[in-house]
């Protein structure tokens, strides 16, 4: 399966390009980046791939491709995914799938109309520590889980240059989109749909223009409660996971996590393209996550619990 990768930055270079090139059944044919330095790095790392400066260059080669991977800034995810589908190509979109659930639904609708694959790179489903938690919950070893705590907390006291720190609402910056997309997806995967959402979105650093310290509380229809923290203001991070059940508990920092299994995602993509399996991540799951993100934004803005 012939792949074009959009983006060769913090997601494209160290994550997607590496996983695609290592996946049996995938061939990295093209990398799209306008940055001259990144173009040079990409050409050195993947001499067999074409390095292209624009999306139009990809669409001109659409008949020689099977799949597009979108690993660009958040605001471009939906336009590129729609264009790829219009040109008859399957699509992998890095998280967040879109900035709103409505945008995500528009991509799914076009994929269904064109009978093409669309899936979302929620790679933290295959984090080693999360896989361990998922096994414990699935086997019932903790009893009935009533609270799930998840933290991705970092100490980044200086505001960095780049689109993630810009206040444009259409840009999709801030830690709720960046880190929360992962944590919300994990919580919904473990305990099912959310019934209510409460959130606090803060800008703690002096120069911050987007949310950099966020708390989200979910009450799931199953009765479980998920408490999610994401922050760039944590000189002392809390445990990655803390799971409380009726018989036992799990705390994520008690032992080194098992190795990640992110390569399983692209193995699943190959199987889906061949018609042998469903997409490794159902895009409807990503839409459910976006509904939670939108509810969290409304909760923080209006100071209330939002019912889905």
Which DSSP string do the residues of 56-106 spell out, in sequence order? HHHHTTGGG-SEEEE-S-GGGHHHHHHHHHHTT-EEEEESSS-SSHHHHHH
- Please check whether residues 303 and 155 belong to one and the same domain: yes
- Please check whether residues 166 and 298 belong to one and the same domain: yes
Instruction: Let me know if residue 152 belongs to a domain.
Output: yes
- Please check whether residues 99 and 212 belong to one and the same domain: no
Which pLDDT belongs to residue 170?
73
Which pLDDT belongs to residue 258?
77
Among candidate residues 235, 238, 176, 225, the one with its CA nearest the CA of residue 202: 176
> Residue ranges of the chain with pLDDT lower than 70?
254-257
Domain final position from 71, 99, 121? 121
Q: Is 111 helix (H, G, I), strand (E, B) or coil?
A: helix
- Please check whether residues 165 and 242 belong to one and the same domain: yes
> What is the distance between the alpha carbons of residues 19 and 26, in angstroms, rounded to a whole number?
10
Domain final position from 121, 154, 185? 121
Which pLDDT belongs to residue 91?
99
Instruction: Let me know if residue 267 belongs to a domain.
Output: no
163-180 pLDDT tens trace: 787 787 778 899 999 999
Instruction: Let me know if residue 140 belongs to a domain.
Output: yes
- Please check whether residues 107 and 192 belong to one and the same domain: no
Task: Decide if 126 contacts 282 (C-beta within 8 A).
Answer: no
- Please check whether residues 144 and 179 belong to one and the same domain: yes
Which pLDDT belongs to residue 201?
98
Q: Per the confidence metrics, is the pTM higher than 0.85? A: yes
Instruction: Let me know if residue 281 belongs to a domain.
Output: no
Instruction: Let me know if residue 275 belongs to a domain.
Output: no
Among candidate residues 180, 158, 154, 159, the one with its CA nearest the CA of residue 237: 154
- Please check whether residues 179 and 294 belong to one and the same domain: yes
Instruction: Let me know if residue 272 belongs to a domain.
Output: no
- Please check whether residues 296 and 172 belong to one and the same domain: yes
CATH number of the domain where residue 163 is located: 3.30.360.10
Which pLDDT belongs to residue 75?
95
- Please check whether residues 130 and 184 belong to one and the same domain: yes
- Please check whether residues 117 and 129 belong to one and the same domain: no
Number of structural domains found in the chain: 2
Instruction: Let me know if residue 302 belongs to a domain.
Output: yes
- Please check whether residues 140 and 190 belong to one and the same domain: yes
Instruction: Let me know if residue 192 belongs to a domain.
Output: yes
> What is the distance between the alpha carbons of residues 251 and 260, in angstroms, rounded to a whole number?
18
CATH number of the domain where residue 57 is located: 3.40.50.720
Which pLDDT belongs to residue 255?
54
- Please check whether residues 178 and 143 belong to one and the same domain: yes
The boundaries of the domain holding residue 255 are 125-259+290-307
Domain final position from 87, 121, 155? 121
Which pLDDT belongs to residue 256?
64
């Amino acid at each position: 399966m012939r792949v074009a990768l959009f983006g060769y930055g913090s997601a494209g270079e160290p994550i997607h390009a590496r996983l695609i090139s290592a996946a049996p059944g995938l061939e990295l044919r093209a990398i799209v980046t306008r940055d001259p330095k990144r173009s040079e790095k990409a050409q050195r790392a993947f001499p067999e791939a074409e390095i292209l400066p624009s999306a139009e260059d990809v669409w001109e080669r659409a008949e020689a491709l099977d799949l597009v991977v979108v690993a660009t800034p958040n605001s471009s995810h939906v336009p590129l995914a729609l264009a790829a589908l219009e040109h008859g190509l399957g699509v992998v979109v890095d998280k967040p799938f879109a900035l709103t659930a409505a945008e995500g639904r528009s991509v799914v609708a076009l994929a269904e109309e064109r009978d093409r694959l669309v899936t979302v790179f929620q790679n933290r489903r295959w984090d080693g520590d999360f896989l361990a938690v998922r096994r414990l919950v699935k086997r019932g070893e903790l009893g009935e889980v009533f609270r799930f705590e998840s933290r991705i907390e970092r100490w980044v006291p200086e505001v960095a240059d780049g689109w993630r720190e810009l206040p444009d609402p259409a840009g999709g910056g801030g830690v709720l989109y960046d880190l929360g997309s992962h944590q919300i997806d994990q919580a919904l995967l473990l305990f099912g749909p959310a019934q209510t959402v409460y959130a606090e979105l803060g800008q703690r650093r002096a120069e911050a223009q987007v949310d950099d310290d966020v708390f989200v509380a979910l009450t799931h229809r199953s009765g479980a409660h998920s408490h999610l923290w994401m922050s760039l203001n944590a000189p002392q991070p809390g445990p990655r996971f803390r799971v409380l059940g009726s018989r036992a508990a799990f705390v994520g920092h008690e032992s080194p996590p098992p190795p990640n299994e992110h390569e399983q995602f692209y193995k699943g993509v190959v199987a889906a393209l061949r018609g042998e399996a469903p997409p490794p991540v159902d895009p409807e799951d990503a839409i459910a996550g976006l509904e939670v993100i939108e509810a969290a934004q409304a909760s923080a803005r209006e100071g209330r619990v939002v019912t889905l």
